[in-house]
Structure 1
Amino acid sequence: MTAASFLSRLRAEWAPSVPRELLAGAVATFALIPEVIAFSFVAGVDPSVGLFASFVISIVIAFAGGRPAMVSAAAGSVALVAAPLVASHGVGYLLAAGLLAGAVQVVFGLLKLGVLMRFVSSSVRTGFVNALAVLIFAAQLPHLKGAGPATWALLALGLAIIYGLPGLGRRLGLRALTAIPSPLICVVALTLVASALGLPVPTVADLGRLPESLPFFGLPAVPASLDTLRIIVLPALAIAMVGLLESVLTAAVVDEMTGTPSDKNRECTGLGLANIAASCFGGIAGCGMIGQAVSNVKYGGRGRLSTLFAGVFLLVLMVALKDWVSRVPVIALVAIMVMVSASTFDWKSLGQLVRHPRLSSTVMLATVAVTIATHNLAAGVAVGVLLSGVFFAFKVSRMLDVQAGVDAATGLHTWRVRGQVFFASADAFIEAFDVLSVEGQPVRIDVSAAHFWDVTAVGALEEVVQRLKGHGCGVEVVGLGAASAVLIDRLGGVG
């Protein structure tokens, strides 16, 4: 590779357009602040724990992750898993669990187990995205409960700026209104309006105590003992699996939005390294943030620089510009999150509910329903994957066809089997043979158009042959494919 081609590839991966990457990363940062603080409360930790974690995770994942433009930070799904551990044993054990979870994720990536995500169907992915969009929107409702006229007026103004300003800029030919992402203008404008008019609206300072210094390195303050391992092992595994699932699915969404591939195994390893680093700097473990990733891509983020800047800008805002950020109205961030929710939801899927097969639509709706009911993305996806597998097995099992015939000249009875024989169709295969009608006669079973997939299928064929022999029939099995024959020979079937 020449130096010119290397630099070209490096620029494409890191910063196709530096100004656009920086602005998109800034939008993602403002979309992170309310969620990270809210998730910190869910986990039962100080907001600084979630904010420091988000900064460290963003920095590490920008270099080590497998999906450019991906935004990862302290996430609600991880917070739900972490909350019981914090309540029972304290933050130190949470940090230790984050270290172990990160190590598990690194091993997962090194073993190239990211390929397992191929078993997540498009219906499950759509349900995952739609459920998360609903949860993001629902998370904003507490900020609107009991809100006064000033809050609603600022929300309306914020949404008008976010959605109306780019179009107005294009019509008037004002490049500044189209070059600067409208959510950033929304934050500045609503802050100035609220401050100038002295409006009685909650600000970021009301959400919780912001960081007062830079994060510092240190191992979790817990005993290095088997008792500690016993306490953290199950929460760590849960954090690792939830984080991997959400990150890989978020990477798949970004792949689709950008039309570019990503390295899912590298993403798994990168997430593990990021969580190890976050735990060593006093932060909660995290994973991919689909809403923030979507907003990053929506406003032009395509490279790793947008991810890196989202983390750096978050630290600058929380430490160096804390006094300014503390005056930002919460409703400005709510307006951004409403936009993120609307952008995340797959609106085309509503029309597809009628056009797509009913089983696929059922899988998507079940994923959404379970995720919203439990507030657990892993549970929703697990149910969706399980239903996808059951429905697939059901459809394939119905493709089995067994036809009986007899040669008038020789009197040879032949059953011709077509389709897939496996655990879900094995009983139907056995029931298709009427052994009493051919008692004492020669029989041929033609399986040239069939495939035997598993030990249950081999057992079914063995049982049919033994039943026929038990009724005095001479049995001949013909047409076994190479793969089926190898499986039957290995399992000692039919003979």
Structure 2
Amino acid sequence: MRWSRSLTLPRRGDLVAGLSVALVLIPQSLAYAELAGLPAVHGLYAAAVAPVAAALIGSSPYLQTGPVALTSLLTLSALAPLAETGTAGFAAHAALLAIVVGVVRLLFGLLRWGAVSYLLSQPVVSAFTVAAAILIIASQVPTLIDSDADAANPFLGAGQALAAPGAWDAVAVAIGVATVLLVLAGRRISPLFPAVLLATVGALLLSVFDLVAVPVVGAIPAGLPPMDLGLPWEALPSLVVPGVVIALVGFAEPSSIARRYASMDRTPWNPNREFTGQGLANIVAGLFSGLPAGGSFSRSALNRLSGGRTRWSGAVTGLVVLAVLPAAGVLADLPTAVLAGLVIAAALSLLEVRPFTQAWRCSRPQFAIAVLTFVMTLAAAPRVEWGIVAGVVLSLAVHLWREMRLDVTATHAGTTLHVWLSGVLYFASAPVLEGRLLALLAEQPDVDRVMVHLQGLGRVDLTGLLSLRSVIEHARESGTDIELCDVPDHTVERAERVLGDLLRS
């Protein structure tokens, strides 16, 4: 409750910023709902309630919560095997998934596990984001050119659409491309330039006055978001893993936004509190028939530049969308090519080569992790979460490989062999130690005493100590005395319990 009491009265800048963001969020939420395979209105439902819920508890005053491209793609990936896109059943599964994502984030926040947001390595997150952006762009090609495609993989679908140029709708292509160019130009002019609003209103007017004949969004139910608890709870086990993936991967963007602005303002940022706020936002979105939500870079930047200084700006954004919902039917004539253009423009901002070049210059193993994540994400589409899984598994493998690199050096002093250990001695590197010591003893048959110096060890676990004990006992049985010395202070107590009298005083 202390968190909610920290929310002060709104300022004029918060009101202006909230309204400005809402004008961008409304068309974007329609577009991201379409990307997720949902009827467009469900994007509006999430856009109305998620920002308000996040504003109650969240940590960052600038973070704008709502539907975002990456989370929408992950939603489509998770639900495609469970229900048919565009149906009420698919929407119900999406709402349940939002609740799962929310519960996971809420638990991480309440249990103070916010640091888990740092566990996904930057190469994995960056490579996945770039691959996902490419898939997002490919998924919008059929809509952009008004051509049918029935392939599950976005690349194959885009290929099918592009392979039949005679079926393209030139007007739809022109509207979509113009939308992309207008949004990109607007970014170069100023983050405050209302490119999304201009593209949306312009295309809507062309359609309303029958100046163009292109596919449109269609009927949008008017009214407030309906609360629905009649969700497909039997599908819950199938949504746990995707929910955890979305909760963690989808949190990378809002946490990055919040950390960046906190650093610029020299103010503290609480990841546990942000996790809790994002969790509550997703739970509420799911309860009101919305899709999983996250933090948006572009809308958060617009919020800050428009004068937003407290979390009221996010609440105002949601309230404006809520006020628009009864009149949402006016958006029925909005060309779908505009929505495709908005999604493509958002995805283009996620395309970055720099993470790959940085990894190549700084760490070849990290570069390999990034490349594998990138390739697996593209190859596994539409089940893009397997790209993350592959990246995490390879990251752990690289970590274990590095940990196993236990350096063992030796020098002679008569019949005494001095052995220095450097690195980490744990379950993965213990076999390396055993093999190296036994090899040294086999190479030096005249040695009758071995002094093992442990001061170079950074960490020693139980398996490592048991391995040392086994080597010492076997060597003594064969007539060679092995003693341990220079035991690190952080290991003395544990070593005494495991090795006992084998330690050299």
How does the TM-score come out when normalised to structure 2?
0.79
Contact 1:155 1:332 in 2 (8 A): yes
Write the letter of the residue equivalent to 2:33: V
Q: Does 1:479 align with 2:472?
A: no
Deviation larger for 62-71 or 183-192: 62-71
Which one of 31, 54, 57 corresponds to residue 64 of structure 1?
57
Partner residue of 1:349 out of 336, 352, 355: 355
Q: Which position in structure 1 is the counterpart of 2:129?
A: 129
**Letter aligned with residue 77 of structure 1:** L
Deviations 1:375-396, CA, capped at 9 Å, x for gaps? 4454322322221221122234
In the alignment of these two chains, the number of paired residues is 458
Aligned partners of 1:234, 1:349: CA distance in 2, in Å? 35
| Matched-pair identity in % | 21
Q: Distance in 2 between matches of 1:491 and 1:377?
A: 46
CA distance in 2, matches of 1:406, 1:477: 16
The one-letter code matched in structure 2 to 1:62 is A
The residue number in structure 2 matching 1:213 is 223
| Distance 1:316-1:376 versus aligned 2 partners, 3 A rule | farther
Are the counterparts in 2 of residues 439 and 472 from structure 1 also a CA contact under 8 Å?
A: no
Cα separation, partners in 2 of 1:219 and 1:252, compared to 1, 3 Å: closer
Distance 1:249 1:104, change over 3 A: closer
Change (3 A) 1:257 1:355: same
CA contact (8 A) 2:100 2:239 kept: yes
Matched, 1:267 2:271: no
- 1:30 is matched with 27
Name the CA distance, whole Å, in 2 between partners of 1:100 and 1:349: 31
CA distance in 1, matches of 2:128, 2:260: 15
When residues 469 and 315 of structure 1 are mapped into structure 2, their CA distance, relative to the original with a 3 A threshold, is same
Shift of 1:444: 0.9
* Cα deviation code 1:174-200 (max 9, x no counterpart): xxx884422212222233345556212
1:384 and 2:391 correspond: yes
How much has 1:431 moved relative to structure 2?
1.9
- Is residue 154 of structure 1 aligned with residue 147 of structure 2? no
1:39 aligns with 2:46: no
Do the aligned partners of 2:53 and 2:277 also contact (CA within 8 Å) in 1?
yes
Match of 1:327?
Answer: 333
Call closer, same or farther: CA 1:36–1:487 in 2, change over 3 Å.
farther
Deviations 1:443-491 (A, max 9, x none): 2111111234323322321222123212211221001112222333454
| Structure 2 match to 1:249 | 252
Q: Is the CA contact 1:54–1:286 (under 8 Å) kept in the aligned structure 2? A: no
Cα 1:117–1:308 change in 2 (3 A) is: same
Are residues 148 and 133 of structure 1, via their aligned partners in 2, closer, same or farther at CA, if it must alter by over 3 Å?
same
Cα 1:491–1:240 change in 2 (3 A) is farther
2: CA distance, partners of 1:360 / 1:14: 45
Residue type of the partner of 1:364? A
**1: distance between equivalents of 2:276 and 2:126?**
25
The residue number in structure 2 matching 1:421 is: 425
Distance in 2 (CA, whole Å) between partners of 1:61 and 1:488 is: 49
Per mean C-alpha deviation after superposition, the further-off stretch among 101-110 and 363-372 is 101-110
Give the direction of change, closer, same or farther, for the CA distance of 1:104–1:116 in structure 2 (3 Å limit): closer
Q: 1:102-129 CA deviation, whole Å, 9 max, x = no partner?
A: 4454333211122223221111121232
What's the offset of the Cα at 1:353?
5.3
Residue 212 (structure 2) aligns with: 199
Letter in 1 for 2:128: F
Q: Tell me how far apart the structure 2 counterparts of residues 285 and 355 of structure 1 sit (CA, whole Å).
A: 39
SS of equivalent to 1:211: coil
**Take 1:280 and 1:20, find their aligned partners in 2: how far apart are those partners?**
27
1:245 Cα deviation (Å)?
1.0
Shift of the 380–107 alpha-carbon distance from structure 1 to 2, 3 Å rule, reads same
- Counterpart CA distance in 1 for 2:398 and 2:236 is 34
CA 70–465 in structure 1, closer or farther in 2 if over 3 Å, else same? farther
Deviates more, 1:64-73 or 1:339-348: 64-73
| CA 1:403–1:256: 2 relative to 1, 3 Å | same
Deviation track 1:87-112 (CA, whole Å, cap 9, x = no partner) reads 79957787667656644543332111
Where does the alignment leave 5 or more consecutive residues of structure 2 unmatched? 148-166
